Amino acid sequence: MKKHNFYAGPSILPQFTINNTAKAVIDFAGTGLSIMEVSHRSKEFVAVMDQAIALFKELLEIPEGYSVIFLGGGASTQFAMVPYNLMNKKAAYLNTGTWAKKAIKEAKLFGEVDVVGSSESANYNFYPKDYTVPADADYFHITTNNTIYGTQIRKDLDCKVPLVADMSSDIFSRPVDISKYALIYGGAQKNLAPAGVTFVIVKNDMLGKVDRTIPTMFNYQTHIEKESMFNTPPVLPVFAALQTLIWLKDNGGIVAMEKKNIEKANLLYDEIDRNKLFVGTVAHEDRSLMNICFVMTEEYKDLEADFMKFATEKGMVGIKGHRSVGGFRASTYNALPKESVVALVDAMKEFEKMKI
């Protein structure tokens, strides 16, 4: 039976990425060595790193004056690295979910944090819109997509202070005007690569302005100057990321991905709205294209376990909602084929006919 992978992360990857990475695990670039054992300073791997950074810049149309670096530690380490490098006295944050809340907690270690808006009281089922960012903030931090709650900011905000964004779960899913951001970061394990590598896009003139001394490993400038090679990078995930970037380019780039993502999401959201058994959990205008969350309606909530069992038997994998929300979550990242969404919709329709 075909499996349909809706996991929120680590998540589905293009078959192109999986196949090429598997080959490199056996023999990388004709070296007779595995990608897992080759020196990161070998000319073969340096070429991988250089090409990955170049494609990152090309696909996202990153302007001059920005650097792309690959680091370890996940997005969670960036929760501290961002304020370490950018906050002198105060930063503004938007509290829109679990990861935003964790970023706020870390930022408070470095200075004053002004939480300008929050949807926590509504279980994060919408994005705050009526807020004011203080003009004296060193930066304004947002989380563009919330995997747990299924909300997303699908436009680039106009902001009078430097804008910082955690784009872990929606990078490469839509065109982004990089020039509106001072820094973008994210874990790769959603739309890019296996877990283990983190990307950072940073505007160079943002750095070197804080009063504090920054430890070498936590200083973005260190990794820019050493071209992501100050210490041993996560070699295999970087190689896999390159394969995904090649796949993205070969499949029409980010504009084509956005079109497919909208089509997939609309297909599933339309069924959620039509089906008498299910209901969405977030405000319509803030619905995510990447993580689609829904629950059983109040009348049929006792059927949740039955539908989970039924969907699993139909090949659905990873649709159980996060424990803090319950219900179901279908993650529809770039690599998920439309056929998988169709299969889930068909399962929802069939289950409805069985129960009503």
The catalytic residues are: 99, 166, 190
Is the bond preceding residue 233 a cis peptide, omega within 30 degrees? no
The answer to whether 188 and 21 are in contact (CB under 8 A) is no
User: Hey, how many other C-beta atoms are within 10 angstroms of the C-beta on 155?
Assistant: 11
With 0-12 CB in 10 A as exposed, 13-18 as middle and 19+ as buried, what is 151?
Answer: buried
Contact between 344 and 316 under an 8 Å Cβ cutoff? The reply is yes
Q: How far apart are CA 21 and CA 52, in angstroms?
A: 14
Query: Angle formed by the axes of helices 235-250 and 15-26, to 10°?
Result: 140
Instruction: Give the 3-state secondary structure of residue 205.
Output: helix
For residue 321, which phi and psi values (nearest 5 degrees)?
-65, 160
Q: Which residues contact 135 (CB under 8 A, 6 or more apart)?
A: 160, 161
Can you list the alpha helix ranges (DSSP code H) found in 169-299? 220-225, 235-250, 253-274
Between the CA atoms of 87, 93, 99 and 105, what dihedral angle is there, to the nearest 10 degrees? 60
Q: Which two tokens stand for residue 147?
A: 């995997």
Q: Which residues contact 30 (CB under 8 A, 6 or more apart)?
A: none
Backbone angles phi, psi at 343, to 5 degrees: -65, -40
Query: Residue 161 in contact with residue 206, Cβ under 8 Å?
Result: no
User: What SS3 class is residue 232?
Assistant: coil
Q: By the 8 A CB rule, do 65 and 204 touch?
A: yes
Q: Pairing mode, if any, of strands 90-95 and 112-118?
A: parallel
Question: What's the one-letter identity of residue 293?
Answer: C
Question: With contact defined as beta carbons under 8 Å apart, do 287 and 262 qualify?
Answer: no
